[in-house]
């Protein structure tokens, strides 16, 4: 029995040392942002254990499980750092918080996997805005490809946007007997004002017909067309004189752009 115990102690010490060395090696290597397939040869090497002399079946120890390759563990560490920073939707540049599923009082309202966004691509939103991740990612694409370039030469660039509508369980334009709005599904956002780095505020209400500001506002509008399922501005109807409405409605036909 003494021999068996000594054997067990040595085996456990060997396993612990291997685990510690593996953790140190993994910690010292740089973090990888890509998920790569494991190196099978290296994994086999970590499994090698010298065979022991004859041991009674009663004291056999199951082979310790293989350590996950460092690349996999580093990827998990990176994802956790994203969550700690407040990143959502798997994107470093979309900051906010995840929420539990929402169900509205009316049929058709709700979001299965909502997020509350307050900053996208370093552009601040005036309020926490509830939406789904598809809408958040589409908004990010529009900000980076259209909004930021449009304001690049004005007032030091874009700093923030005033949000006047996001998730709400309501009908289109709050009209009785109208269809459920995309806002009620977490697929829409309304933006009324663009704030520049120097403090300048450009509003959709006043700037759409202003000689100096209309060009950039119409560029923002046209840049959203096709990217979003619906784009509505001051020329659409009386309900959108003061803001842009963007939504990611799932349409079988062409996107709506007015």
pLDDT tens-digit series, residues 82-106: 666 689 999 999 999 999 998 878 8
CA-nearest of 174, 172, 185, 164 to 104 is: 185
The answer, yes or no, to whether residue 75 has pLDDT greater than 70, is: no
DSSP assignment of the chain, as one string?
A: -HHHHHHHHHHHHHHHHHHHHHHHHHHHSPP-SS-----HHHHHHHT--PPPSP--GGG--PPPPPPPPHHHHHHHHHHHHHHHHTEETTEEEEEEEE---EE-SSTT-EESS-EEEEEETTEEEEEEEEE-HHHHHHHHHHIIIIIHHHTTTSTTSEEEEEEEE-----BGGG-TTPPBPGGGGT-EEEEEEEEETTS-EEEHHHHTT-TTTHHHHHHHHHHHBTTBSEEE-TTT-GGGTT-EEEE----SSPPEE-
**Mean pLDDT in the chain?**
80
Give me 131's structure tokens: 């939406």
Supply the pLDDT for residue 212.
Answer: 87
The answer, yes or no, to whether residue 255 has pLDDT greater than 50, is: yes
Q: Which residue has the tokens 């010292």?
A: 28
- Which range, 25-29, 79-83, 236-240, has the best average confidence (pLDDT)? 236-240
pLDDT by residue (tens digit) across 209-226?
A: 988 899 999 999 999 999
Supply the pLDDT for residue 118.
Answer: 97
The answer, yes or no, to whether residue 30 has pLDDT greater than 50, is: no
The CA distance from 166 to 4, in Å, is 68
Cβ contact 144:122 at 8 Å: no
| pTM (two decimals) | 0.69
Cα–Cα distances (Å) from 69 to 19, 30, 62, 86, in that order, read 12, 13, 20, 27
pLDDT by residue (tens digit) across 126-151?
A: 999 999 999 999 999 999 999 999 99
Q: Confidence class of residue 35 from pLDDT cuts 50, 70 and 90?
A: very low
Supply the pLDDT for residue 9.
Answer: 53
Give me 23's structure tokens: 């953790």
Question: 26: which residues sit within 8 A by CB, 6+ positions away?
Answer: 70, 73, 74
CA atoms within 13 A on the CB side of 39: 7
The CA distance from 52 to 16, in Å, is 17
Give the whole-number percent of the chain exceeding pLDDT 70. 67
Cβ contact 140:93 at 8 Å: yes
Cα–Cα distances (Å) from 118 to 45, 96, 129, 244, in that order, read 47, 6, 7, 18
The answer, yes or no, to whether residue 23 has pLDDT greater than 60, is: no
pLDDT by residue (tens digit) across 53-64?
A: 444 444 455 555
pLDDT by residue (tens digit) across 148-166?
A: 999 999 999 999 999 999 9
Give the whole-number percent of the chain exceeding pLDDT 90. 59
The CA distance from 56 to 71, in Å, is 38
């Amino acid at each position: 029995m003494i021999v068996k115990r000594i054997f067990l102690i040595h085996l456990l010490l060997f396993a612990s040392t291997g685990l510690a060395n593996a953790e140190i090696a993994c910690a010292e290597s740089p973090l990888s942002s890509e998920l790569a397939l494991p190196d099978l040869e290296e994994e086999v090497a970590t499994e090698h254990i010298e065979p022991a002399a004859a041991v009674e079946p009663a004291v056999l120890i199951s082979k310790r499980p293989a350590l996950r390759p460092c690349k996999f563990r580093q990827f998990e560490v990176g994802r956790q750092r994203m969550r700690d920073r407040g990143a959502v939707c798997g994107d470093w540049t979309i900051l906010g918080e995840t929420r539990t599923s929402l169900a509205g009082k009316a049929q058709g309202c709700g979001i299965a996997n909502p997020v509350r966004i307050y900053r996208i691509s370093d552009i601040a939103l005036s309020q926490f805005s509830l939406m789904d991740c598809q809408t958040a990612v589409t908004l990010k694409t529009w900000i980076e490809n259209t909004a930021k370039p449009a304001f690049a030469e004005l007032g030091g660039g874009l700093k923030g946007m005033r949000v006047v509508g996001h998730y709400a369980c309501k009908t289109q334009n709050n009209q009785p007997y109208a269809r459920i709005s995309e806002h009620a599904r977490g697929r829409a956002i309304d933006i009324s004002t663009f704030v520049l780095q120097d403090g300048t505020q450009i509003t959709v209400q006043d700037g759409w017909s202003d000689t100096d500001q209309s060009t950039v506002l119409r560029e923002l509008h046209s840049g959203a067309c096709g990217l979003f399922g619906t784009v509505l501005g001051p020329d659409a109807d009386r309900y959108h004189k003061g803001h842009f409405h963007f939504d990611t409605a799932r349409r079988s036909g062409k996107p709506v752009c007015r």
